[in-house]
Amino acid sequence: MSKDGILTGEFFMMGDVACAEGAISAGCRFFAGYPITPATEIAERMAARMPQVGGTYIQMEDELASMITVLGASWGGVKAMTATSGPGFSLMMENLGLGIMTETPCVLVNVQRGGPSTGLPTLVAQGDMMQARWGSHGSYEIIALVPSSPQELFNLTIRAFNLAEKYRTPVLIMTDAEVGHMTEKVVIPPPEEIEIVSRRRPTVPPDEYLPYEAGDDLVPPMANAGEGYRFHITGLTHDERGYPGMDAETQERLIYRLIEKIRRNRDDIIQLEEHGLEDAEVVVCSYGIAARTALWPVELARKEGIKVGTLRLITVWPFPEERIRRLAREVKAFVVPELNYGQIVLEVERCAAGQAEAILVRHAGGGIHNPRKVLEAIRRAAR
């Protein structure tokens, strides 16, 4: 272990464990959580590792407390994270909203499982994707990253922390029970190869500091508690001073900035993986474990002569609207395999705006797609 706690080396590692190690590599020194299958391993790994790297692990009484404890730790100046699955994700929604409203950097990992309600605790699904976007009340934007392998889960956890600090927002990692529980090779690089971004600090003295005054990048510099800035933070609609402002004008100014700071930076935030799109007539658009399941059907379809390409969404929110719009003019159809009854396919259909079909390959969860069903959908799309 290097002095930053980074376990440089090559490992055969479970996704959940890779996630915890990714967080530590990114500088996370606080974890508050609650046991829930299939995310418990993240908590257990953090319980063992946090004291080793001078961090703190605390198991809270429920997920509501976990989420807001993470916000508190972030305001105490420490990079903080929590991890859960569907039922806990629902509980965290209110305080996720507080994190968005107060612009608190933090990371929330959802290892998705079969739902709704208690559902299938040990089996995979991808049914929380729309909830990731709209789960909390009010108007807001969110960043959600979706890995397809333990290695990518490691990498994206680091990226999630960097995005959270850069844009002063909670960032979601919407992984799933398959990626979380599968064991694969994970390479942890040496510290000098890991890029770490931290929150921008105030450059003015305390009596001139306004906690929510932002420059052109729309992200205000962040002071931590105990540094003498004596700021006031509230979940109420507030002005640049942080004081509650109960009128439409203050609301408009605040909501506009909260949303624009993410929307304006889509190019920086959105990551996609594309193959074979140059001459494609059909695009298989997928994310997470479903993207891996789709690889073999795509290969088979190509052998049959179907011009099919893949578009893997590494960033699901903000949704890559521009890319879908442009592709829709060139292709016949999108095939969207997802482990739910149609969530991201709705976004694809919306952005395709009738110029290309959007065909869902649905699956209620509890297992991965039957590759044959994906192949049939590709064939249907090509006709």
Partner 1 sequence: MSDKQVVNLKPDRNPMDELLREDRLPHIWCSGCGIGVALTCFIKALQKSGLDLDKVAVVSGIGCTGRVAGYVKLDSFHTTHGRAIPFATGLKLANPELKVVVFSGDGDLIAIGGNHLIHAARRNVDMTIICVNNFNYGMTGGQAGPTTPAGAITSTSVYGCFEHPFNIPYLAAASGAVYVARWTALHVRRLEKSILEALHKSGFSFVEVISPCPTLYGRWNKQRTGLAQMQYYHDKGVIRHGLDPKEVDIGLHGEIVEGVFVDIEKPTFLDFCSAALAKNAETGGS
Q: Which residues bind partner 1 (CB under 8 A)?
A: 1, 29-30, 32, 51-52, 54, 56, 58, 60-62, 64-66, 68-78, 80, 94-95, 98, 224-236, 243-244
What contacts 348, CB < 8 A, 6 or more positions away?
Answer: 285, 324, 334, 336, 358
Q: φ, ψ for residue 13 (rounded to 5)?
A: -130, 145
Shortest Cβ 215–partner 1 spacing (Å): 23
Task: Report the alpha-carbon distance of residue 361 to residue 377 in Å, rounded.
Answer: 7
Residue 150 contacts residue 55 (beta carbons within 8 Å): no
> For residues 101 and 177, which CB has a smaller minimum distance to partner 1 in the complex?
101
> For residues 6 and 145, which CB has a smaller minimum distance to partner 1 in the complex?
6
Token output for 255: 């909501």
> For residues 7 and 382, which CB has a smaller minimum distance to partner 1 in the complex?
7
Q: Is 339 helix (H, G, I), strand (E, B) or coil?
A: coil
- Give the ranges where 309-370 is alpha helix by DSSP (H): 321-330, 344-352
Shortest Cβ 48–partner 1 spacing (Å): 8
> For residues 197 and 233, which CB has a smaller minimum distance to partner 1 in the complex?
233
Shortest Cβ 139–partner 1 spacing (Å): 18
* Overall size of the chain counted in residues: 383
Shortest Cβ 66–partner 1 spacing (Å): 8
> For residues 127 and 170, which CB has a smaller minimum distance to partner 1 in the complex?
170
Q: How far is CA 368 from the centre of its chain?
A: 21
> For residues 70 and 269, which CB has a smaller minimum distance to partner 1 in the complex?
70
> For residues 116 and 206, which CB has a smaller minimum distance to partner 1 in the complex?
206
Shortest Cβ 241–partner 1 spacing (Å): 8
DSSP character string of 17-77: HHHHHHHHHHTEEEEEE---TTTHHHHHHHHHHTGGGT-EEEE-SSHHHHHHHHHHHHHTT
Shortest Cβ 140–partner 1 spacing (Å): 15
CA–CA distance from 239 to each of 98, 203, 205 (Å)?
A: 16, 20, 19
Shortest Cβ 104–partner 1 spacing (Å): 10
Side-chain half-sphere CA neighbours of 100 within 13 A? 30
CB-neighbour burial class of residue 43 (10 A; exposed 0-12, middle 13-18, buried 19+)? buried
> For residues 83 and 289, which CB has a smaller minimum distance to partner 1 in the complex?
83
Token output for 306: 């179907």
Shortest Cβ 5–partner 1 spacing (Å): 10
> For residues 62 and 217, which CB has a smaller minimum distance to partner 1 in the complex?
62
> Looking at residue 191, what DSSP letter applies?
G
Nearest Cα residue to 213 out of 263, 257, 169: 257
Shortest Cβ 38–partner 1 spacing (Å): 24
Q: Is 265 helix (H, G, I), strand (E, B) or coil?
A: coil
